[in-house]
Each structure stands twice: as structure tokens, then as C-alpha cells.
Amino acid sequence: MTARIIDGKSYAENLRTRIAGHVARLKAEHGITPGLAVVIVGHDPASEIYVSSKAKQTAEVGMVSFKYELPEDTSEAELLELVRRLNNDDQVHGILVQMPVPKQIDPVKVIEAIAPSKDVDCFTPANVGKVQIGLPGPVSCTPLGCLMLLRDQLGSLAGLHAVIVGRSNLVGKPMMQLLLRENCTITVAHSKTRDLADVVRRADIVVAAVGRPEMIKGDWIKPGATVLDVGVNRIPAPERGEGKTRLVGDVAFAEAKEIAGAISPVPGGVGPMTIACLLANTITTASLINGLVPPS
Ligand code: NDP
């Protein structure tokens, strides 16, 4: 039987509609207009597209978008000064500095400079710790999006065995924390894991966050498992014409969809959830900064 295709695009659209409702309530009931500042340094084309989508979607849900485009040769001191200014700006409830930053800037110093109360990417040690012990605050955007899709597909996740392939601070580790909170039994695999195919075959839930095109094969998937593919890989597509490319995930989609119970495609699966969750985090921080309980 062919798997259900997990439509992250339409889930994210619905989520943005709910977020627009929260924004309208914050404005009407508390006089608060959530503001999200996005800072980009230099001219990485992929980052520029991503930052523009963030700004557009921020405005579409009724928040204020502050966009700062700094030149490639911006010094670390200049960027840190901007972050400090944004930390002290009452109109700004979320600050995101698009990574990677140019080499003259230490990304760790930038992350540590962001006020945890406005850290909508959930990069600061304080917020990483809060997620670990279950306190309210922003949650890493891509894992939060994965969790929403999994709950939508499966309802309760309690007792399910989740295999997360990848252990980055951005995806794998926060995914592990969130699934542990859901009472999953978790295996985190990485580049040194032995017999990866056998490990993945034991999973009720597979979260693939590796960055290797179609590495996870169809016959690694347990029949009926739910597969979330976080990977975004651009590969040559000569069938579309000379020099053309296309996006694929970390899972061999065509094979895996014949075996899985549900699977997210690339593009159109996990990707659209990430920006929607960034907006959700901005509602969370805007609420907490103003002493309100964030919407669940
Ligand atoms: P990282 O490069 O930071 O981490 C990759 C992880 O995969 C590492 O833990 C690494 O192991 C592991 N890995 C590498 N090779 C293998 C292998 N052969 N077998 C098993 N594990 C392996 O990547 P990110 O977590 O930042 O991103 C992963 C993917 O997700 C990328 O394609 C990225 O573009 C995509 N992404 C998509 C997002 C979205 O919104 N859709 C958001 C964020 C990322 P080790 O630790 O041992 O090196």
C-alpha cells in the first residue's frame, strides 16, 4: 500500500491562519503588535530567499517585520551592537540572525548576544536548557514543525520508537528532547552509527536530518512507519535540461513511500513548517515578554 503523503505546505498554511488569529487577539486585547527582526549579513543567495520569505510571511500574519541587510564586510562589533539595540527595542519581540555569518564574525558570540527572551530560533543556551526541562519558551523551529506533523498524523506518540538520523544542535538534538517529552523511546543515529539500516528498520518514526541525498533507502523502513524527511539536497537533474537541478530529501522517497505508512515529501513537507514555527515562536516570546501565557 502506498503511504499517506504528509502535506506540510497545507498544514503550515493552516498554522499561519491560527497565528494571524493570535496576532489579532494580542493587538485587540492587549495593544501588543508582535515584531520580528531578521538580520542578514552578506549576500548568500539561498539565505536571501529565505529571509525574504520570512519577512513576507511575518507581515502576512499581521506582525511587524524589521529587516536588516548588512554588507558582507560588517564587523563582529557592528553586528553585536545591532543585536544589543534590538534587545532593547520594545517593538521587537523576536530576533533572528540568519546563519551562516561571514567568517570575520563568531556565530557563537552572536547567539550569546541575543536576549533569550527574544531568541525565536531557540539557539541560546538558556532556551536550549528550558526545552530540556520543559519550561515555556521558544522551541527550535524545524523540530517543532516535525512534532506538529507527527502529532497530526499519529495522535499520541507515547511508547513509539523514534529513530532520529542526525545529531545537530539545529535539528537532531532538539528533536530528541521534544520526542522524549512525548514519551517516545528514542535512538539518535549519526555518522559513526554501525548498521544504520538495521537501526532505522526498528523505527515506528524516522526523522532524517543528515544532508545526504536519498541516503535512507526504502528497504530500511519498517512497514507502516511514519517518515519525516528534514534533508534538503540539490542534485543535478539533466532530465529537466542542461544545468538544471532539483531538490531531494535524505530519504529515497519513491521507494520509501511504497513501504511507509506516511511520509513527508521534499519539497512541501517539513520545509514550510520551519518559517510558520518561527512565527509561532514570536507569538510565544511576545506573550511571555508581556507577562501573558502563550497560546498552546
Ligand atoms: P548537520 O550537517 O549539522 O548535521 C548532519 C548530521 O548528520 C550530523 O549529526 C552527522 O553526524 C549526520 N550524518 C552525516 N553523515 C551521516 C551518515 N552517513 N550516516 C548517519 N548520519 C550521518 O546538518 P543539519 O542538521 O543542519 O541539517 C540536516 C539536513 O536538514 C540538511 O540537508 C539541511 O539542509 C536540512 N535542514 C532543513 C531544514 C528545513 O527547514 N527543512 C532546516 C534545517 C536543516 P555527525 O554528528 O557524526 O557528524
Whether 182 has a pLDDT exceeding 90, the answer reads yes
d(C-alpha 129, C-alpha 113), whole Å:
17
Q: Which of 57, 98, 204, 229 is catalytic?
A: 98
The pLDDT of residue 46: 85
d(C-alpha 195, C-alpha 283), whole Å:
42
pLDDT in tens, 274-285: 999 999 999 999
pLDDT in tens, 90-146: 999 999 999 999 999 999 999 999 999 999 999 999 999 999 999 999 999 999 999
3-state secondary structure (DSSP) of residue 244: coil
Is the CB of 54 inside a 6 Å radius of any atom of ligand 1? no
d(C-alpha 145, C-alpha 152), whole Å:
11
Is 167 assigned a ligand-binding role in the annotation? Answer: yes
Is the CB of 196 inside a 6 Å radius of any atom of ligand 1? yes
Q: Cell numbers of 221, please?
A: 523502513
CATH 3.40.50.720 fits 141-273, yes or no: yes
Is the CB of 271 inside a 6 Å radius of any atom of ligand 1? yes
The pLDDT of residue 45: 87
What separation in Å is there between the alpha carbon of 166 and the centre of ligand 1?
5
CA of 270, closest atom in ligand 1 = 41
What separation in Å is there between the alpha carbon of 172 and the centre of ligand 1?
8
Whether 296 has a pLDDT exceeding 90, the answer reads no
Give the architecture (CATH level 2) of 30-121: 3-Layer(aba) Sandwich (3.40)
d(C-alpha 270, C-alpha 166), whole Å:
15
Determine which residue's CA is closest to atom 47 belonging to ligand 1.
191
Whether 13 has a pLDDT exceeding 90, the answer reads yes
The pLDDT of residue 258: 98
Domain boundaries, the chain: 30-121, 141-273
ipTM surpassing 0.90:
yes
d(C-alpha 185, C-alpha 163), whole Å:
9
Is 166 assigned a ligand-binding role in the annotation? Answer: yes
pLDDT in tens, 201-212: 999 999 999 999
Distances (CA, A) of 66 to 8, 154, 162: 26, 37, 38
Is 291 assigned a ligand-binding role in the annotation? Answer: no
Domain 30-121 and domain 141-273, same fold? Reply is yes
pLDDT in tens, 232-274: 999 999 999 999 999 999 999 999 999 999 999 999 999 999 9
pLDDT in tens, 36-84: 999 999 998 888 888 999 999 999 999 999 999 999 999 999 999 999 9
Q: Alpha-carbon dihedral of residues 39, 81, 171, 140, nearest 10 degrees?
A: -80
For residue 192, indicate whether it is catalytic.
no
What separation in Å is there between the alpha carbon of 44 and the centre of ligand 1?
20
For residue 121, indicate whether it is catalytic.
yes
The residue-averaged pLDDT of 155-182 equals: 98
The residue-averaged pLDDT of 141-162 equals: 98
For residue 98, indicate whether it is catalytic.
yes
